[in-house]
Structure 1
Amino acid sequence: MLDLLYKNITRHISLSEEEFQRFSEPFQLKKFQKKEVVLREGDYCLFEGFVLNGCFKVYFLTEDGFEQTLYFAVESWWITDLDSLINNVPSTLNIEALENSEVLMISKKDKELLYETMPQVEKLFRIMNQQSSVALQRRILSLMNKTADKRYLEFLEKYPTLEQRLTQQQVASYLGISHEFLSKIRKKTILGNR
């Protein structure tokens, strides 16, 4: 169970076995059923979660009430609302399990304690936050500069196995288009690959 977390962490920093044990101690295993809400808009986010297995959507509702997916989180990804967690403000995001899932959760309080007792942990989360910022910047640029066709092909290239785990509606929400338009793009893509 902790092997996946260890692999994820040691891509960014070096930890001895003893240090990793200290690091992983405050994490708690939580299980979520399909469609279970982990965080609801308006609540305060007090955690970060490392996905062991399963799939989550992190989304917000537009003023018109439409669901807009910010990202999907699968194995080895993290889930949280950073704005709510860092700034202690109500969440603008919703996090929902799309499959039965298991997550290692750490509270804000325990994470802050790790910062104080293990300086390399602060470096770890700084690196991860930088990478998250880069990914979100690329996503914004893609939404602003690319056609829906190109965004769909980019999605397939970047996440080759994810589409099979999602509904067409969920993929469309991520791409910022209607599921009807996604159907047209998919047909065109299939015909173009023949």
Structure 2
Amino acid sequence: MSLILQNIAKHIALTTAEQELFLSKIEVHHFDAKTILLHSGEVCKYSYFVNSGILRSFNINDNIVEHVLNFACAGYWIGDMYSLITQKPGNLFIEVLEDAELALLSKENQEILYTEIPKLERFFRILTENSLVVNQERLMDNLSLSAEERFEKFCSKYPTLIQKVPQKQIASYIGVTPEFFSKMKSKILHR
């Protein structure tokens, strides 16, 4: 069973016919590292499911500082939720960090699947609710935890990314400057 079907099976059961219909509505593509899948100001047309590789979503503020919102590795979904839902231009970039194989589900095909396989609406509602919970927890962590504690949570959530993702992107994700991150990491390693 493909990884995307395993991901769906965690929340709902699809018949073989429903699985085939679902798979007929996705596009699988390979992307090289450093490919920008979505630029700020564009309308997000796809939800991306990561079969392999690593992606990140980020924005760039007026001072040209990047803010990493999410990382997605194998088994994760990623997209600009605001733009995908409203079909208005978003403010996120989505970049491939490591060569990736992605399953793309267009907004149009997602809507068709909701009609043809109604339980998929439940699946995507669960994903959206889980995403809301994770984002709320991350916001609370940023308000109440120290940078060290946020880094420890990052290491727990993404243990394989520590060696694969540039340190400045990890620093951005936990909300510190690369210089502070380097000093903090050195201090942690010397304990």
- Sort the TM-score into its range (normalised by shorter chain): over 0.9
Q: Summarize deviations over 1:47-102 as a string: whole Å, max 9, x none.
A: 11110000011001122110000010100111211110111110110000001111
Q: Summarize deviations over 1:142-173 as a string: whole Å, max 9, x none.
A: 11111111111111122211111111111111
Question: Which residue is 2:148 aligned to?
Answer: 149
Which runs of at least 4 in structure 1 moved beyond 6 Å after TM superposition? none
1:75 aligns to 2:74 (yes or no): yes
Q: TM-score, normalised by structure 2?
A: 0.97
Alpha-carbon distance in 2 for matches of 1:158, 1:35: 23
- 1:164 alignment partner AA: Q
- Counterparts of residues 9-24 of structure 1 (less than 5 Å): 9-24=8-23
SS in 1 for 2:129: helix
Question: Which residue is 1:123 aligned to?
Answer: 122
**How many percent identity over aligned positions?**
35
Alpha-carbon distance in 2 for matches of 1:154, 1:189: 14
**Residue 176 of structure 1, CA deviation:** 1.2
**Where in structure 2 are there 5+ consecutive unaligned residues?**
none
Question: Which residue is 2:113 aligned to?
Answer: 114
Alpha-carbon distance in 1 for matches of 2:147, 2:77: 26
Question: Which residue is 1:90 aligned to?
Answer: 89
**Where in structure 1 are there 5+ consecutive unaligned residues?**
none
- 2:25 alignment partner AA: P
**Residue 5 of structure 1, CA deviation:** 0.7
**Residue 34 of structure 1, CA deviation:** 0.7
Alpha-carbon distance in 2 for matches of 1:91, 1:83: 7
- 1:151 alignment partner AA: R
Q: Summarize deviations over 1:98-117 as a string: whole Å, max 9, x none.
A: 01111000111110000011
Question: Which residue is 1:4 aligned to?
Answer: 3
SS in 1 for 2:2: helix
**Residue 18 of structure 1, CA deviation:** 1.7
Question: Which residue is 1:32 aligned to?
Answer: 31
Computed over aligned residues only, the root mean square deviation of the Cα atoms, in angstroms, reads 0.9
Alpha-carbon distance in 1 for matches of 2:114, 2:13: 15
SS in 2 for 1:64: coil
Kindly tell me the number of residue pairs found equivalent between the two proteins: 191
Q: TM-score, normalised by structure 1?
A: 0.96
